[in-house]
Amino acid sequence: MIDFDTAQAHLAARATSPQSQETIRLEALNGRVLATDIEARLDLPPADNSAMDGYAVRTAEVTAAGTTLPIQQRCFAGQTPKPLRQNQAIRLFTGSVMPQGADAVLMQEDCQETDNQVTLGRVPKAGQYVRVRGEDMARGQTVLQKGTVLGAPQIAVLAAQGFAEAPVFPRLSVGILTTGDELMMPGQPLRPAAIYDSNAPMLASLCLGLGTAKPVVRHARDEADAIEQALTELASQCNLVLSVGGASVGEKDLVKPAIEALGGTLDLWRVRMKPGKPVALAELHGRPLVCLPGNPVSSFVVFALLVSPLIRGLQGRQTLFPPVRRGVLTDDHVKGGDREEFLRVRADLSAAVTRLTPYHQQSSGAISSLSWADALARIPAGFQTRPGAEIAWYALADWLG
């Protein structure tokens, strides 16, 4: 049995960044992973400009509150002001270019305008309410790094720099294989002794949430030929294959021999974690294949904590491991067993220290806990509850996004 951290690191180490890239237009970049560093083409702002609606002045000429100056010009954003003449002011608006000779702006709330003259209610300081050219982004500066997941903020940077498109890595293709004669697709009448397959739609949704392409989903009966055929198809089409169940040592656990029959290599682990002990990492036709536990709760936890860093690495992301936070359990009766346990919890961030409330049913069969919880709390093996004891917790929004 191997410990959780070793298993997590081992899976993440299998990730290799994509070798190809494609150029995508700005409006389609959301959720894509940047394939190169992006350097600023422009200084932003492109010229010194006003941060406020107000009046541009020369500070050396305004030595006392109550100074009155004639208004030389009114200059809106997008217009070019004339050089500021001595002992005059220019009316500016937010974003207006600073006139040559002016070194400060007094905001309009501190001024009174009458008959094309302005009375200044304060003494300005040099540089006041002036945005300096290039203070946000300087030409040649790296403004976005390779491996960044692009969202609205990053797309705003690209647009502000005049990029209509950007190079990104191709979307990761994932294949999902479920096995088991007892499984039926949702929507069909449930026959005796059967259950609906919740793993396939759950895992497909988790993959999409991480920004992969639409997963290729296959189900195979508990027959060696059917499993081999499905694995061959998925490995030929996809960058990563996830199989669910069937990789242990039971009579119907046929995934492991199928992988070996196809020439694949497989490491079967027993990870010291609960839920999610049986996990395997294989390689088939040069593609990584991860065998997940068949129990949906176990499959969810293993995907969130062990598989998601592998996916981020295969996508070419810069950051594989989201932050691990610290919090305090609200339940004083939680005790650690011989494996690290990952409780489904809700995190209350309103207190000074995050409070973690476990779901009332922590059975690995409690699928309802997945829709209730927003985090997983890590309970160390042999943990003894004591007041104020902090433990690690994983925000699902971080780990599944």
For residues 3 and 161, what is the distance between their CA atoms, to the nearest angstrom? 47
According to CATH, the topology of domain 4-18+171-315 is Molybdenum Cofactor Biosythetic Enzyme; Chain A (3.40.980)
Burial 238-254 (b: 16+ CB within 10 A, else e): bbbbbbbbbbbeeeebb
- pLDDT confidence of residue 100: 98
Kindly give, in sequence order, each residue whose CB lies less than 8 Å from that of residue 44, ignoring residues fewer than 6 positions away. 134, 136, 137, 160, 161
- Per DSSP, the three-state class of 117 is strand
Decide whether 4-18+171-315 matches 49-131 in CATH topology: no
- pLDDT confidence of residue 387: 72
Q: Does domain 325-399 have CATH number 2.40.340.10?
A: yes
- pLDDT confidence of residue 155: 98
Summarize pLDDT for 38-51 with one digit per residue, the tens.
999 999 999 999 99
- pLDDT confidence of residue 1: 86
- pLDDT confidence of residue 342: 97
Rg (CA), the chain: 30
Element (H, E) at 398: helix 396-399
Summarize pLDDT for 183-215 with one digit per residue, the tens.
999 999 999 999 999 999 999 999 999 999 999
CATH class of segment(s) 49-131: mainly beta
- pLDDT confidence of residue 269: 78
- pLDDT confidence of residue 249: 57
- Per DSSP, the three-state class of 202 is helix
Domain extents in the chain: 4-18+171-315, 22-42+149-168, 49-131, 325-399
* Dihedral (Cα; 118, 121, 125, 127), 10-degree rounding: -50
For residues 386 and 335, what is the distance between their CA atoms, to the nearest angstrom? 10
- pLDDT confidence of residue 332: 84
- pLDDT confidence of residue 267: 81
- Per DSSP, the three-state class of 159 is helix
For residues 376 and 154, what is the distance between their CA atoms, to the nearest angstrom? 29
- pLDDT confidence of residue 117: 98
Element (H, E) at 62: none
- pLDDT confidence of residue 271: 94
Q: Long-range pairs for 81-87 at CB < 8 Å and ≥24 separation?
A: 81/56, 84/56, 84/57, 84/58, 86/58, 86/61, 87/61
Tell me which residues of the chain have a pLDDT lower than 50: none
Element (H, E) at 343: strand 340-348
Q: What are phi and psi of 75, to 5 degrees?
A: -130, 115
Could you tell me the pTM of the whole model?
Answer: 0.92
